[in-house]
Amino acid sequence: MIFSERLKKEREKRGWSQADLAEKIHVSRQSVSKWETGKNYPSIEVIIDLSDLFGITIDEMLRSDGELKEKVIRDSKKLAYPKWKAFFDSVFLLGVFLLVAKLIIIGLNSFAGLDIVIPEGLPKILSNFLPLTLMVIGGIGADQLKTKYTD
């Protein structure tokens, strides 16, 4: 039995309308209608709520519908992706910021006759290659996430 049929059967077995069920799980009646007609699927959080409400296992709800199972898998991958993407994007942008800052300092020293000094305690190799290293790490990390989490 596919998810939409199972949902409707469990709801009707309890004598609930779509509006009753929607109220119990805090969604709109239209959402319940779309789930029951197979036009849409609920999120994993809602599936958990439905499982608890109906007293059936999540496994029973998911395994009967291959398309829903695939949606849950895709959703779970998307949940992890933004956190790491934000991290690698931040690393990349930090590298860009440091590179631009260094280029501005070099430009001001050369063309404006200023004498801005990069702190002496900072090893030259670090100040020269840190921005590039951060940009490479951020770019590679984001690319690995893209290949891992996209369909």
How many other C-beta atoms are found inside a 10 Å radius of the C-beta of residue 83? 9
Buried b (16+ CB within 10 A) or exposed e, 52-76: eebeeeeeebbeebeebeebbeeee
Q: What is the pTM of this model?
A: 0.50
Q: Name the residue with higher pLDDT: 140 or 80.
A: 140
Question: Could you read off the pLDDT of 67-118 as tens digits, one per residue?
Answer: 787 877 777 666 566 778 889 999 999 999 999 988 898 888 888 888 877 7
- Predicted local distance difference test score (pLDDT) of residue 91: 95
| Most confident residue range from 12-16, 43-47, 138-142 | 12-16
Mean per-residue pLDDT of the chain: 84
Quick one: average pLDDT of 32-61?
89
What share of the chain has pLDDT > 70, as a percent?
88
Q: Could you please report the per-residue DSSP string of 94-123?
A: HHHHHHHHHHHHHHHHHHS-------TTS-
The CA distance from 116 to 53, in Å, is 67
Q: Which helix (H) or strand (E) holds 5?
A: helix 3-13
